[in-house]
Amino acid sequence: MSGAGRFVRHGLAATTGRRMPFALSYHGLGEESPEDDPHGLMTHPDAFAAQLDALLGLGYRLVGVSELWDAVARGEAEGLGAITFDDGLADSMHAASALCAERGVTPTMFLAPGLFGEDHPDLPPGRRILRADEVPALEAAGAEIGAHSHGHVELPVLPPERQRGELRRSRAELEALLGHPVTTMAYPFGRHDATTVALAAEAGYTVACANDGAGPWAALALPREPVHPSTSLARLRLKSAGLYGPVLLLKRLKGRRPGFR
C-alpha cells in the first residue's frame, strides 16, 4: 500500500487515538455579524488563536500543504496538519500570518491574482483582497503561497481551454511575483472534476486542495475540512480527527430512526 493509501480510512483510524493528518480551510479573520457575513467566511481572531493553540496542545505540528502532502505520500504524516486560507483577504492574511508566526505555524495562502486589490465580493465594502506587492512579504513572514485560479471561478463549469488558462495564468503571475515555482493550489469553492484535475497536473501543480471534508488522500484532490464562525473547539477536534462527517451522519440516522442508539 502506498503512503497516501494508508490514510484513506482517516476517520476510522482516528478512533484509535492516533494523530492522523488533516488540512483545515479558512477564508478570513474578523468580527463580522452573521448579517454581514452570510456565507460564514470570517472566524474571530481570538477563536483562530484558540484553535491553533488547541491543535498544538494535542501535539500536532502545523506545516504547509506541500510538506503535508510529501509526508502523506511517504506514509509519515501522523501528527501533521495544515492551516490554509483561500482568497487572500488583506487584513486577515496579515493577522493570520502574525498569529501563526508567534506559534511556529506555517499557513498556506491560496491567492487569485485576478482579484488583487479588489474588495471581496461576498463581504461588506472595505474587505480588500491583497495587492500584488503585499504577497512577497507574506511569504517572507513564513507563509506558503499557492494559487486559487486566476479569477476565482468555478472551474468545472468552464470549457477545458478556459480552465487551462485560469490554471496556467494564476501560476505564472504568482511565480513572477515570488521568483520561484508555485506548485500548490486550491480549487475555488473546492469544486473539481476529472478534467479539472488533469488540467491542474498539466499546468504543473503537484498538490491541489479540495474542500469537501475528510476523505481519501490524493495529490490533486487533497481533502480539507472547512472552518466556519460556528466551529467550536469540540467540532475542531472532530474535524482534525476526520470524525466530523461520521458524527453528523450518526446524528441524522438517529433523527430518521426513532429509538436508534
Q: E strands along the chain, which residues?
A: 22-26, 28-29, 42-43, 61-62, 80-86, 107-111, 144-147, 184-186, 207-209, 225-226
Distance, in Å, from the CA atom of 44 to the CA atom of 29, rounded to the nearest integer, reads 5
Q: What's the one-letter identity of residue 89?
A: L
Q: Using 50, 70 and 90 to split pLDDT, how confident is the model at 12? A: very low
Q: Using 50, 70 and 90 to split pLDDT, how confident is the model at 257? A: very low
Residue 120 is predicted with a pLDDT of 94
- What domains lie within the chain, and their CATH numbers? 4-256 (3.20.20.370)
Residue 253 is predicted with a pLDDT of 52
Judged against a pLDDT cut of 70, whether residue 79 lies above it is answered with: yes
Cβ atoms < 10 Å from Cβ of 42: 25
The 10s digit of each residue's pLDDT in 201-241 is 999 999 999 987 767 899 999 999 999 999 999 989 888 88
Q: Using 50, 70 and 90 to split pLDDT, how confident is the model at 63? A: very high
Residue 240 is predicted with a pLDDT of 86
**Which residue(s) pair with 109 in the sheet?**
85, 145
User: 197, 13 in Cβ contact below 8 A?
Assistant: no
Distance, in Å, from the CA atom of 88 to the CA atom of 124, rounded to the nearest integer, reads 15
The 10s digit of each residue's pLDDT in 91-108 is 999 999 999 999 999 999
pTM score, whole prediction: 0.88
How high is the mean pLDDT of the chain? 88
